[in-house]
Structure 1
């Protein structure tokens, strides 16, 4: 008697709409996103499968969740062929499974733009041209009930990026735009969690560090998006937005214009033996006594991504740095380069320097920030020689009042 063993397929999917299914995955073991950014709450990789007269997969996932991804697809297809794969973005956290997918589904046509096609050939070795359907801005693809069109979004945040817009259900599949760090933990929709309490800081940190350099390009995409109706937003990371997303779009508009969300002061300090930290603490006390909120960061222990995000949030930034080998303290210099790389601009900046025999950092910091746009670097600064004395206390009081006068 032949023994037949039933193979169980484990899957984890959720319906976005009646005929659109989330087939992505969550990675809670990843420590550094892109090898740089800490993700203590994990990250989601979103992929969406449309079940129309034609079946359409929108992007794949990172290799870390490839197993559950294919189980999700096979369960959702339930024996149907996969007619189309639309590739909106070619970063490997969204495209890693393309070649494996074509092996499993040789019938699939890859729909994308010419720049994506070129990158597919750079990442993979299979016969792409025989499977390719190239699209350009405004082209349409009918899948039966649904009509999809394509909106190019170069440098949000790679040059090949496009957004697929479902004209029938009014859904933009927004690639990395409107994404967020953090695993979604079963709650696919932003309204299923307290997003602004629990996730908004991570959304800001995601935007500022991943997309923040490209404000002009985000503005161009927002302009295109304003010309279409939107009932839902499906990004490649984080939650799907199906209601009350006007405030989130407004935040993107503000961030991409480099306008602060709040009036307040970020104080980032680099201290070796605690004396520069003491000066920063005193300044924070004086500012709060003047009714100005502050946020403090020790650059030696706080990841730069968190400080970058805070500088997008607040209107003023103070850099307090010890002098180290005749230059800016190492971790502070790293932060300053990171800020310049992310288009730090439109802020008021104040400087505190410390040096036992040659305090150098105020001048060097101002020179390094000289490549940034529209910074109001205050002429008044505080110079400490080793530790804070009464004279420096008075200087810190004066700097606090000067900063207050700029609000």
Structure 2
């Protein structure tokens, strides 16, 4: 009964939307849900490209059969083995026991480990091709985006690239699937948040993949999350390129933790100084209120970062400590950094922020500012001066 969306004459979108999941990977909020994208190629040979999360397998299979009709499914291409894309593989294998599963050597180790499937396999290496009829698929191994087995599949005929998690975005597809049929502003923002939180650590691997793909013509990008990119192919590649090179655009992100408002007032004063010096792109985050996934997205996006914390039990404010741990995991480079802190009797936060700056090797633009008990006029002026300096840096 389902009507599948055409991507090209012979390629169909048969993905599903998840509006139930609250946390992606049980970590990252999904205020707009998420899609699990799967595609079907109808040629002399039929090919399914990736599957969906297992709880949506029944709807997914109905969508598949609505296009496939009474034809046999010849191949399943696995670009990525993460369970939100591989969860329905066992159901596919049961329905089509003679199907050939296409993947690389690392794919098949995970396929056996997750689902106990170790036969009926068609192994591909970098650059290998598979002829379907008028369509020919070419496979590019792109390890560590963001798992070691990840690869991309290029349809030479339609100049269409199935990219797995690369170029993906959070958010459901509400009616339209192609970017030409939807307003993509929010999806582009969610693509940044997706990259920052999922693939942000693996910038060099992403750069390797982009370099490998630079000589092929790409008219359409089909990721496993978010819109199918056609009109904005160059835009999504540009965003991914900049994020993976850690190239921050002009802007300042101020992040603070505060128990009683004193550290918060320091953040406000720094922002005042920035604005006074003509800086327009300023964002302030209360780390206790905004989920870290949104903060990380802006840290990846902008070139200057300011972090402030009170001392809490002779440590950093807990949510600031958690943020710093996530930043170190992602190994973000090329940022200018300033920091500030408050305490009642111990200045541990300043020492710990200094140690963080040393570990991540960011360019510290000023001596830190510290207050005890409350913000006094001299320190208020120091915060404004720091903002001015950041605007000029």
How does the TM-score come out when normalised to structure 1? 0.94
Q: Which residue of the partner structure matches residue 244 of structure 1?
A: 232
> What is the CA–CA distance in structure 2 between the aligned matches of 1:209 and 1:192, rounded to whole Å?
27
1:387 is matched with which residue: 349, 355, 374? 374
Using the alignment, how far apart are the partners of 2:34 and 2:3 within structure 1? 16
* Alignment correspondent of 1:213: 201
Would you say the 8 A contact 1:322–1:328 is kept in 2?
yes
Whole-angstrom distance in 2 between the partners of 1:108 and 1:361? 58
Question: Which among 142, 145, 149 is matched to residue 156 of structure 1?
Answer: 145
Question: Aligned with 2:389: secondary structure?
Answer: helix
2:219 and 2:233 in contact (8 A); partners too: no
Aligned-CA RMSD value: 1.1
Q: Following the alignment from structure 1 to structure 2, what is the Cα–Cα distance between the partners of residues 241 and 232? A: 6
Aligned equivalents of 1:252, 1:338: Cα separation in 2? 20
Equivalent of 2:87, from 80, 91, 96? Answer: 96
Deviation at 1:12, TM superposition (A): 4.8
Counterpart of 2:244 in structure 1 is 256
Question: Which residue, 260, 268, 289 being the options, matches 1:281?
Answer: 268
In 1, the alpha carbon distance for the partners of 2:76 and 2:333 equals 39
Could you tell me which of 363, 369, 373 is aligned with 1:376?
363
- Please state how far the C-alpha of 1:186 moved relative to its aligned partner: 1.5
Moved more, 378-387 or 159-168: 378-387
Q: In 1, are the aligned partners of 2:166 and 2:223 still within 8 Å (CA)? A: yes
Shift of 1:360: 1.8
Which of residues 125, 128, 132 in structure 2 aligns to 1:136? 125
Q: Aligned partners of 2:199 and 2:357: how far apart in 1?
A: 20
1:52 corresponds, among 43, 49, 55, to: 43
8 Å Cα contact 2:270/2:385 also seen in 1: no
* 8 A contact 2:344–2:373 mirrored in 1: yes
Asked if 2 retains the 8 angstrom alpha-carbon contact of 1:163 and 1:172, the reply is: yes
Q: Is the 8 A contact 1:322 1:361 kept in 2?
A: yes
Supply the distance in 2 between the matched residues of 1:72 and 1:148 (Cα, whole angstroms).
Answer: 23
Segments of 5+ residues of structure 1 without an aligned counterpart are 1-9
* 1:378 Cα offset (Å): 2.6
Residue aligning to 1:37: 28
8 Å CA contact 2:342–2:372 kept in 1: the answer is yes
Aligned to 2:98: 107
The C-alpha deviation readout for 1:3-25, integer Å capped at 9, x for no partner, is xxxxxxx4252111111011110
Residue 336 of structure 1 and its aligned partner are, at CA, apart by 0.6
1:6 aligns with none
Q: CA shift at 1:121, angstroms?
A: 0.6
Structure 2 alignment gaps of length 5 or more: none
Work out the CA distance in 1 between the residues paired with 2:370 and 2:310: 10
- The answer as to 2:257 corresponding to 1:266 is no
Tell me what 1:5 maps to.
none
The SS at the match of 1:233 is: strand
> Match of 2:299?
311
Count of residues in Structure 1 that have an aligned counterpart in Structure 2: 392
Q: How does 1:294-373 map to 2 (within 5 A)?
A: 294-373=282-361
TM-score between the two structures when normalised by the length of structure 2: 0.97
Alpha-carbon distance between aligned partners in 2 of 1:378 and 1:386, rounded to the nearest angstrom: 25
Q: Are 2:134 and 1:145 aligned?
A: yes
Q: Is the 8 A contact 1:340 1:369 kept in 2?
A: no
Superposed CA offset, 1:359-407 (max 9, x none): 221221121233324x10134221111211111112112212221231x
**Compared CA separation, residues 379 and 242, structure 1 to 2 (3 A):** closer
Partner residue, 2:174: 185
CA deviation string 1:110-161 (max 9, x = no partner): 01101000000110124x22x1111101111000111111100000110000
Tell me which residue corresponds to 1:26: 17
SS at match of 1:17: coil
> Is the partner of 1:99 in helix, strand or coil?
helix
Q: Does 1:73 align with 2:73?
A: no
Alignment of 1:396 onto 2:383: yes
Give the secondary structure class of the aligned counterpart of 1:107. Answer: coil
